[in-house]
Amino acid sequence: MNDKDMIKDVVNNVAMLQDMKQWERLENYFVKKPFVDNKSISGEMPAIIPKKRLIDSWRREIGSYFYSTRHFIRRLAVRRLNSRRAKVTTSVEHVHYVADRGDRYAWTVHGTIDYILVKTTNGSWKISQMIFKMQDQAVRPISA
């Protein structure tokens, strides 16, 4: 598998593993302390945080509020910056399914995620930076 395909796999697998709630497996796809900017959706200030804390926050958020999620990657472009760094730009649609007092809703968020990935000494690619920019969102009821 070439570098470009390995990079695409990293980004696609992170989305898929969140939906599958495979939290422990997610750690393999990040450097120890990635830079994360989710301010447009969470309100949290951008920061360099330990990957375990990032994934634990996803686990709490998805586990507490949503009975299911679907992270769709609508467009994925890879640009090599040099032999050990790459920039990935994606267009995404994240659907979060909520149950509240007997009613069910879908909260859909559209945006972009820009990643920086670095190649490790063993040849694998890991996410060192992830910046989410929300473009719009909508909540709609789900009929029974």
Task: For 93-131, write each residue's pLDDT tens digit.
Answer: 999 999 888 889 999 999 999 999 999 999 999 999 999
In this structure, are residues 47 and 36 in contact, taking their beta carbons and an 8 Å threshold?
yes
CATH class of the 3-141 domain in this structure? alpha beta
**pLDDT tens digits, one per residue of 13-55:** 999 999 999 999 999 999 999 999 998 888 889 999 999 999 9
- Type of residue numbered 52: K
In this structure, are residues 54 and 39 in contact, taking their beta carbons and an 8 Å threshold?
no
**pLDDT tens digits, one per residue of 50-70:** 999 999 998 988 878 899 999
- Write the DSSP string, 109-120: EEEEEEEEEEE-
Distance of alpha carbon 64 from the chain centroid? 18
User: How are beta strands 30-37 and 125-141 bridged, if at all?
Assistant: parallel
